Amino acid sequence: MNQIWFCDFVELKNLQTNQTKCFSVHQWLDKISDNMHFSMTNYQTISCDDKRYNRNISNYYYYTVRIKTNQTNLLPNDFIHISLKLFGKIHQTEQIQLDQTIDNQQAFHRNNSIDTFEIRTPTKLNSIEKIEFYYEFQINYGKLSLEWIEITNLSNGIISCFPINRILTQLNNNNKRIQQILTLNEFNNKSCSD
């Protein structure tokens, strides 16, 4: 039986300078994996407890977004604009960029991995009924294979897994790149990793 645990934050404190750094992780980790390492370069200079407290009193609602990619033909310097819109029964969020989220300022990771983002929105959604996934390659030959998108509502812990299993390519209109939309409304209320 696979043993996993959920890592929410990692906090580091320099006892000499009294400086604190809070790294957002928000991932399920396999306890028995021989290859369990990842790097976190983005952090906030507050304690993780303060961050959690501020989240509860702010006017924003927070979500963790995990995206599983398969094969891609993109090179390390190639870029793709990714954003997401969440829909509830009545309301919808604004279009939220995933390459410049609150704690993750890194470009969207593409090569055979699970990328995790923390997003926020002023719009309250009790449940997620569908999502729109916006993408635009900055190269003409771009191709990206997506397996799934998982969204966790950090206010109530509800997980929504949207299976994709599609290859996304860049459409061009007279050599102009076009932003494309993938609408997903079939989902499961469990982790995509299960």
Position 102 scores a pLDDT of: 44
**Range 185-193 average pLDDT:** 88
Position 105 scores a pLDDT of: 43
Lowest mean pLDDT among 86-90, 177-181, 183-187: 177-181
Position 88 scores a pLDDT of: 93
Q: What is the DSSP letter of 162?
A: E
User: Does 5 score more than 50 pLDDT?
Assistant: yes
**Would you say 193 and 5 are in contact if contact means Cβ atoms under 8 Å apart?**
no
114 band by pLDDT with thresholds 50, 70 and 90? confident
**Range 105-112 average pLDDT:** 56
Residue-wise pLDDT tens digits, 129-183: 999 999 887 777 777 788 999 999 988 889 999 999 998 887 766 666 677 888 9
Give the Cα separation of 48 and 59 in Å (integer). 18
The domain defined by 59-189 carries CATH number 3.40.50.150: no
Position 181 scores a pLDDT of: 86
User: Does 82 score more than 80 pLDDT?
Assistant: yes
Q: Which of 27, 21, 56 is nearest to 42 (CA)?
A: 21
Cα–Cα distances (Å) from 17 to 12, 21, 177, in that order, read 12, 12, 49
Domain coordinates of the chain in residue numbers? 1-56, 59-189
What pTM was computed for the model? 0.66
CB atoms within 10 A of CB 32: 9
Q: Which of 142, 145, 144 is nearest to 177 (CA)?
A: 142
